[in-house]
C-alpha cells in the first residue's frame, strides 16, 4: 500500500502493473481491497491504481462536509502526485458517481469511463423519500464496526 498527501489528507492507494493507466474507484464504505482479484488480473495489461477514497480504508477521514467535488479534486490531486496525466477510469456503484464527477472536472484526464452498477447521483435521479431512505441506510452502515 502506498500513500500520498493530497490537500492535507493521507490517501492510500495500491498500484501494480505496466501499460495504459487504469483507475479503480470502489463503492461506498469499501476500499481498494474490493479490487484485489481485478488488480491481480488487470495489472498484466494495465498500470492499475486503486485508491482508498477519503474516509475509507487506510485514507484520512475528511469530515462530514466533504463534497463530491472535493472527492473528485482529491482524486485529481492523487493522479497528479503519482504522475498519471490521463487514465481509463472504472467506477463501481458510488465509485461511478466519483468517476462522473472527476470527468466533469477533468475531462482531459479521462481516456474512457467504465461505470458499473452506478448512478449519476441522488439529486434528481431519485425522489426525495427514496433519497432520504438510502442516505439513512448508508449512514447507518458507515457506523458499523469494521469487523
Known catalytic residues are 93
pLDDT of residue 68: 84
Taking the whole predicted model, whether its pTM rises above 0.95 is answered as: no
pLDDT digit string, tens, across residues 57-114: 999 998 888 888 889 999 999 999 999 999 999 999 989 989 999 999 999 999 999 9
Domains of the chain: 2-121 (3.40.50.1820)
Average pLDDT over residues 25-45: 93
Cα(104)–Cα(102) distance, rounded to whole angstroms?
5
How much helix, strand and coil, in percent to the nearest 5, is found in the chain?
35, 25, 35
Cα(31)–Cα(54) distance, rounded to whole angstroms?
10
Amino acid at each position: 500500500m502506498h500513500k500520498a498527501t493530497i490537500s492535507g489528507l493521507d490517501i492510500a492507494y495500491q498500484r501494480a502493473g505496466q501499460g495504459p493507466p487504469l483507475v479503480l474507484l470502489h463503492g461506498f464504505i469499501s476500499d481498494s481491497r474490493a479490487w484485489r482479484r481485478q488488480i491481480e488480473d488487470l495489472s498484466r495489461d494495465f498500470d492499475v491504481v486503486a485508491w482508498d477514497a477519503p474516509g475509507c480504508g487506510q485514507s484520512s477521514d475528511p469530515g462530514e462536509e466533504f463534497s463530491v467535488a472535493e472527492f473528485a479534486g482529491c482524486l485529481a490531486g492523487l493522479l497528479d502526485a503519482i504522475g498519471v496525466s490521463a487514465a481509463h477510469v472504472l467506477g463501481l456503484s458510488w465509485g461511478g458517481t466519483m468517476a462522473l464527477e472527476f470527468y466533469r472536472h477533468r475531462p482531459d484526464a479521462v481516456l474512457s469511463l467504465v461505470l458499473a452498477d452506478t448512478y449519476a447521483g441522488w439529486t434528481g435521479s431519485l425522489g426525495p423519500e427514496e433519497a432520504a431512505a438510502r442516505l439513512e441506510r448508508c449512514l447507518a452502515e458507515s457506523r458499523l464496526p469494521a469487523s
